[in-house]
Structure 1
């Protein structure tokens, strides 16, 4: 991690919502569910553990022993299903600090990650993981300090609750805002607070406005937002770079190409997330470090 001591990089390992959708129609943008890695001031932060976490874990094997801090927005399946397949968690000598808010039913993030690995849902329990796992409950609004890095959070509008995060280091910030549904008559103050003056704001834009408001297949109440709302947030919050994220599994590469064109017209400093994409939070003139074909 020494090579990253003066860097603030954001790498996307999973960019989909709801369910993984690998296949020839999603190969360019990717089919894995939510997982974002940040390399900040020599530390590794991991946001969510969807199926993209499996790929991240395999990539990290040559770097062991390793340490990382993990932050979960919530525990819907598309954000935790990769955790039982995160190979570094099974290896003694590795250490992971794992943060998540207590759910409305009172369950901790440790309980929820444990429960998905119980019989009859999984062959081995969480306790077989050999790494040092430290589970930490986080309060809404609590600030986590990791050396010079601060991680803030705020409540989002999502069934069963979810929280968004804001990572700040060296006067630069990245907001991770998924899963959340916009309000019909106003912008969400919690979302605006997370995204305020952010160098990069990653936003849940699962639907288009047309899909969200469709008279026969309305998505109102499903807990997700649209790219049009993402643009409104970016403009109001003075975001430098907007990242469209949490793509609907039915949106193939051709559909996502169209989203790229539309968001670029509406907000030129926008990027549609792809698996393997790497962004530089410190340099707006060299933001895109890696953009897979």
Structure 2
């Protein structure tokens, strides 16, 4: 599959957070965990390797040989568990450049991806994968140039650390900000920088304010944010479109419908992330499946 040089589209392959949650009550928005594919300027960029990466892999089998760049926000399991099931990584004709920030314990993204595939967690080690794979350790704040596409990152507020990304091309940009917790008394400067005037902001809105501040089941300190805080950030950053992402596994389709309706009242150009959704950055065409 050829990616057009004038293409800048975002494809959602996994939009759920924490744990995959398939079933009749999540079928419309989807139950796979995070994976985005961005086709931009003739390049294929993949962000996170949750269970949605397996679905993307099945789609890509008809388009080998494949060259792609993979960027990981962090290595919590809901963001890497799809990697061992990413079939294109077992095909020798394919080539992947894999990027991730070194973890606080000093481990690289290669070590963390490999570690989840070792006995007793998994029967097949990473070394069995036949594709050509190059691993790159990113510094926080480092820019990566891929042709004329520039990928930036910034540190987020998440247990064990995570980074968000901003993809820039020809004056357009997408901000991917998942797994971050807002601050109680201020907007996160790192998130504002990533989202500044972005065409699309994809944001971790796992909870509602009511859930986050619940006296009985408080989510303070869990490393995730709310759609209400996302609206504040989208407004302050002047983004064109706000995407609610990283849905809680307990939030069924009806619940997400209600959240979407409430969010649109506050920020009219809001969409609920949905598996199979495709957004065009260049002309802001409506979501499609």
TM-score by length of 2: 0.99
Question: Residues of 1 paired with 2:161 and 2:104: CA distance?
Answer: 7
Matches within 5 A, 1:89-104: 89-104=89-104
Deviations 1:169-206 (A, max 9, x none): 01000000011000000000000000000000000000
Aligned positions, number: 289
Matches within 5 A, 1:180-191: 180-191=180-191
Question: Residues of 1 paired with 2:282 and 2:164: CA distance?
Answer: 21
Matched, 1:197 2:197: yes
Question: Residues of 1 paired with 2:117 and 2:153: CA distance?
Answer: 27
Q: Which residue number in structure 1 is paired with residue 255 of structure 2?
A: 255
Deviations 1:103-139 (A, max 9, x none): 0000000000000000000001000000001010000
Any stretches of 5+ residues in structure 1 without a counterpart? none
What's the offset of the Cα at 1:42?
Answer: 1.0
Question: Residues of 2 paired with 1:106 and 1:220: CA distance?
Answer: 27
Q: Which residue number in structure 1 is paired with residue 74 of structure 2?
A: 74
What's the offset of the Cα at 1:36?
Answer: 0.4
Question: Residues of 1 paired with 2:4 and 2:81: CA distance?
Answer: 28
Question: Residues of 2 paired with 1:104 and 1:202: CA distance?
Answer: 25
Q: Which residue number in structure 1 is paired with residue 158 of structure 2?
A: 158
Matched, 1:277 2:277: yes
1:78 is paired with a residue whose SS is helix
Q: Which residue number in structure 1 is paired with residue 59 of structure 2?
A: 59
Question: Residues of 2 paired with 1:245 and 1:63: CA distance?
Answer: 28
Aligned partners of 2:177 and 2:191 also within 8 Å: yes
Q: Which residue number in structure 2 is paired with residue 20 of structure 1?
A: 20
Q: Which residue number in structure 2 is paired with residue 30 of structure 1?
A: 30
1:224 is paired with a residue whose SS is coil
TM-score by length of 1: 0.98
What's the offset of the Cα at 1:289?
Answer: 4.3
Question: Residues of 2 paired with 1:68 and 1:221: CA distance?
Answer: 35
Aligned partners of 2:3 and 2:39 also within 8 Å: no
Matches within 5 A, 1:76-155: 76-155=76-155
Aligned partners of 2:3 and 2:41 also within 8 Å: no
Aligned partners of 2:117 and 2:124 also within 8 Å: yes
Question: Residues of 2 paired with 1:263 and 1:206: CA distance?
Answer: 13
2:96 is paired with a residue whose SS is strand
What's the offset of the Cα at 1:260?
Answer: 1.0
Question: Residues of 2 paired with 1:40 and 1:124: CA distance?
Answer: 33
What's the offset of the Cα at 1:2?
Answer: 3.4
Question: Residues of 1 paired with 2:44 and 2:100: CA distance?
Answer: 17
Deviations 1:42-82 (A, max 9, x none): 11000000000000000000100110000000000000000
Aligned partners of 2:11 and 2:38 also within 8 Å: yes
Question: Residues of 2 paired with 1:5 and 1:149: CA distance?
Answer: 11
Question: Residues of 2 paired with 1:42 and 1:250: CA distance?
Answer: 38
2:20 is paired with a residue whose SS is coil
Any stretches of 5+ residues in structure 2 without a counterpart? none
Question: Residues of 2 paired with 1:11 and 1:259: CA distance?
Answer: 22
Question: Residues of 2 paired with 1:65 and 1:87: CA distance?
Answer: 12
Deviations 1:5-36 (A, max 9, x none): 21100000000000000000000000000000
